[in-house]
Amino acid sequence: MKTIFNFLLYLLGFFFILGGFMTLTEGQTVPALFILSFGILLLPKVYQEVKQKFPKIKKLYYITLTIFTFIFGMISLGNKTLEEIENLKQTNSGVILSEINSGKIENNTGKIEETLNALIKRSSELIANGGINSIKAQIEINDKFINENGTLDTKKLNSLNSGLKGLLETLEKEEKEGKPEWLFTAFKDKLTDEVKEVYYVTSKNSVEQKFPYKTTNAQLVVRKSKSNLDVYIKIQSGQILTYNRTATLRFDDKKAFNVGINGSNDSDSTYGFLDSENKIFEELKKSKRLRIQIDLYQNGGVVFDFNTVGFKDALIKNKD
């Protein structure tokens, strides 16, 4: 009988010790210490030592066991209840967001504040990473909510909604015209100390070439300073023919025209410098597309297609 009793004490002791550690991992230090202490006191060896010093502990033991069991049960139940409440909150938020996204906004006192917070959260997410269709739908929902709740403080939602409208306008423009692809760099001439600005864009297409040359795209480069302007085309592989040659340019759907093309000072045949730089420069500021035909060694005339949207904006952005 005594062996069974000791076994039960060990079992209960380890149970409470384990429960104490679990409670400790959840950040509840004080309850964890109580549970751990009680679990240790339940161990037969510890219990015998305590009983020798306190002979009346046997009667108190059962009372203490009952109290600690009750406390442990309440803590466990409390944790479960808190978890259920948190899950319920998340579920409710999910339902509200679902209603918002489907256009079903419930205009009642109980949900109105929660709906506003959900709208603010969703709008912030879309500003950070939203597509055109999602943003359009959210703007419509926000407008409806703001109009139906004129007495509510919707300043933050109004501000976010304005941001969404601006973002939508930009995204729609980029979708229609093509995303600006101009890159910019600048350097100082070591001899003259003059700053040279370089704007460049890569062709949308590549062309295949006969052996030993590889498939290549092209870069259209505008290099400008206060005293000079160059417009040239650069390929990755192959040779641009420039001697007694011309390049044909066509901006948007305008009539194509020819300009002279020249080699670089160091005879690098991957470069072709275009004449009529000022004309090309002005056309680039108002065009969306430029096609350039040049002659490549052993590969004849090839056409490179460039998206030129945003060149004027790039000039303004990087203006001294």
Edge-to-edge strands, sheet with 271-274: 183-188, 195-202, 218-224, 229-235, 271-274, 257-262, 246-251, 289-296, 300-307
Beta carbons of 167 and 132 less than 8 angstroms apart: no
Write out the residue range of the structural domain in which residue 236 sits.
183-317
Structure tokens at 149: 């709740």
The Cα 245–Cα 239 span in angstroms is 13
* Domain assignment of residue 97, yes or no: no
Q: Mark whether 67 and 118 lie in a shared domain.
A: no
Q: Mark whether 131 and 40 lie in a shared domain.
A: no
Residue type, 224: K
Residue 58: the pLDDT is 57
Q: Which of 24 and 215 is assigned the larger pLDDT?
A: 215
Q: Mark whether 116 and 229 lie in a shared domain.
A: no
* Domain assignment of residue 98, yes or no: no
DSSP state at residue 240:
B
Residue 206: give its domain's CATH number. 2.60.40.1880
Beta carbons of 224 and 230 less than 8 angstroms apart: yes
Residue 96: the pLDDT is 46
* Domain assignment of residue 173, yes or no: yes
Tell me the percentage of the chain whose pLDDT exceeds 90.
Answer: 33
Q: Mark whether 67 and 125 lie in a shared domain.
A: no
CA distances from 170 to 121, 157, 167, 180 (A): 22, 20, 5, 11
Q: Which residues contact 50 (CB under 8 A, 6 or more apart)?
A: 41, 57
Of 92, 119, 148, the domain-final residue: 92
Q: Which of 232 and 132 is assigned the larger pLDDT?
A: 232
Residue 126: the pLDDT is 77
Q: Mark whether 307 and 197 lie in a shared domain.
A: yes
* Domain assignment of residue 34, yes or no: yes
Q: Mark whether 229 and 243 lie in a shared domain.
A: yes
CB contact burial 28-65 (16+ within 10 A = b; e otherwise): beebbebbbebbebbbbeebeeeeeeeeeeeeebeeeb
* Domain assignment of residue 198, yes or no: yes
The Cα 307–Cα 105 span in angstroms is 43
* Domain assignment of residue 8, yes or no: yes
Strands (E), the chain: 183-188, 195-202, 218-224, 229-235, 246-251, 257-262, 271-274, 289-296, 300-307
Of 132, 160, 177, the domain-final residue: 177
Residue 143: the pLDDT is 87
How much is the mean pLDDT over the chain? 78
pLDDT at 87 over 60: no
Beta carbons of 165 and 136 less than 8 angstroms apart: no
Of 114, 149, 177, the domain-final residue: 177
Beta carbons of 16 and 36 less than 8 angstroms apart: yes
Residue 20 CA from chain centroid, whole number: 41
Domain count, the chain: 3
Residue 81: the pLDDT is 42
* Domain assignment of residue 224, yes or no: yes
Beta carbons of 50 and 41 less than 8 angstroms apart: yes
Number of Cα atoms under 13 Å in the Cβ half of residue 264? 14
pLDDT in tens, 154-190: 788 888 888 888 878 877 776 666 666 789 999 888 8
Q: Mark whether 257 and 304 lie in a shared domain.
A: yes
Q: Mark whether 162 and 276 lie in a shared domain.
A: no
* Domain assignment of residue 300, yes or no: yes
Q: Mark whether 72 and 32 lie in a shared domain.
A: yes
Q: Mark whether 304 and 221 lie in a shared domain.
A: yes
Beta carbons of 207 and 297 less than 8 angstroms apart: no
Residue where the block lists tokens 């704007």:
199
What angle in degrees, to the nearest 10, is found between the helix axes of 57-101 and 2-25? 40
Q: Mark whether 75 and 126 lie in a shared domain.
A: no
pLDDT at 220 over 80: yes
pLDDT in tens, 48-65: 776 666 666 555 655 665
Q: Mark whether 225 and 173 lie in a shared domain.
A: no
At 258 the three-state DSSP class reads strand
